[in-house]
Amino acid sequence: MKDCVGMDSRAYMAMTEEHVLHTYNRFPVVLESGNGVYLKDVNGKEYLDFGAGIAVFALGYGCQEYNQALKDQIDRLIHTSNLFYHRPLAYASEKITKAASMSKVFFTNSGTEAIEGAIKAARKYAYLKEKRSDYEIIAMEQSFHGRSIGALSVTGNEHYQEPFRPLMGGVRFAKFNDIDSVKAQINEKTCAILMETVQGEGGIFPADAGFLKEVRALCDEHDILLILDEIQCGMGRCGEMFAWQHYGVKPDIMTTAKALGCGVPVGAFLLNEKCAAASLVPGDHGTTYGGNPLACAAVSAVLDLFEERQIVAHVKEITPYFEQQLDRLTERFDCFAGRRGLGLMQGLVVTGRSAGEIVKAALEEGLIVLSAENNVLRLVPPLVITAEDIDEMIDRLSAALSPRS
């Protein structure tokens, strides 16, 4: 099919709406290219990106080393199936397990699939202990883990769940950062406790250190697996390679995605030695595309570049300035009731107006920001941002918030 060069943005949007199932309310922008921390639309307008494709493009746009690694792999081999070995899988698996201090990894196509695999691994681990199939998982209220039936079942949000019931059974919900609530849900059937280390869609809530440590202790006491969802908060975003490393608390199973591939669709769940040795075996789980050569080349390149460019150290260095400027912004504008977050995963609590309204106003000023849980403005920029980028973001967001003449 010939590309319709010269079409305006309205024509591209109309073509999309005609043929694509309407499950997203997209912004009226047709993006065309990116460079560094900027995106450009088909009309040539430039946008400062503090959304990073929903916390995906950690390295920014147009990273030549990353792009070249993918081009080289495309010329060699894109897909084989998991019936064969290939070199990118060997490299990627070694690097990610080392970065996460875990024993084994299973590569998926998305974060949602990583959650599905983590649930299966936990249930299989429990099944092998007593050959029972009635084990339960404790998940958290206000959580978000994905859109598939299994992932929805452990997502603590009535809005997402209600139209798709009945969901997967055997799930109980506790209150995040409330250890008594967790204790109240534990019984002889509990096989796992699943949570985001930092809740994202639920409103940017980091786990309290004491809470996470007490959950880990409960898991150790009752032989319950701790599953930490690091899909959005991991991969350096919070100032450690994975957010749980801030707390000195290690999960039995963890999930990752988003910045793991920096744009190439790839996720993973990782298991510690105990869980890997007594859970999934050949025939229990699989995926045609997961961990294919192209995806693994992306993972391998991302992890190399994180190390070479000292991305995690940069996040630690730039975070205090980011937080300082956001705090000043909240003091200046009455529509903000406060800030919360960890590293370059920050949320501004909006009051008196909707976060979505601010997102749209910012877009008009050439700034991409996101919302979370309706009343939180979410900022998850590429991890390579500079102080100058932060200053520009503050200027554009201030213009979006100021009364228009």
Answer whether residue 192 is part of any domain.
Answer: yes
Assign 2 a pLDDT band (cuts: 50, 70, 90): very low
Share of the chain above pLDDT 90, in %: 96
Answer whether residue 347 is part of any domain.
Answer: no
Tokens of 359: 């997102």
Answer whether residue 99 is part of any domain.
Answer: no
Answer whether residue 141 is part of any domain.
Answer: yes
Residue 1: what pLDDT?
38
Answer whether residue 342 is part of any domain.
Answer: no
Answer whether residue 137 is part of any domain.
Answer: yes
User: Is 103 within 8 Å of 273 (Cβ atoms)?
Assistant: yes
Q: 10-43, pLDDT tens digit by residue?
A: 999 999 999 999 999 999 999 999 999 999 999 9
CA 281 to chain CA mean position, Å: 27
> Of 267, 262, 308, 313, which is closest to residue 62 (Cα–Cα)?
262
CATH number at residue 194: 3.40.640.10
Residue 7: what pLDDT?
78
Answer whether residue 165 is part of any domain.
Answer: yes
Q: 139 lies in which domain range? A: 106-287
Answer whether residue 316 is part of any domain.
Answer: no
DSSP 49-93: ESSHHHHT-TT-BT-HHHHHHHHHHHHH-S---TTS--HHHHHHH
Question: What's the structural domain count of the chain?
Answer: 1
The rounded mean pLDDT for the chain is 96
Name the pTM for this structure.
Answer: 0.96
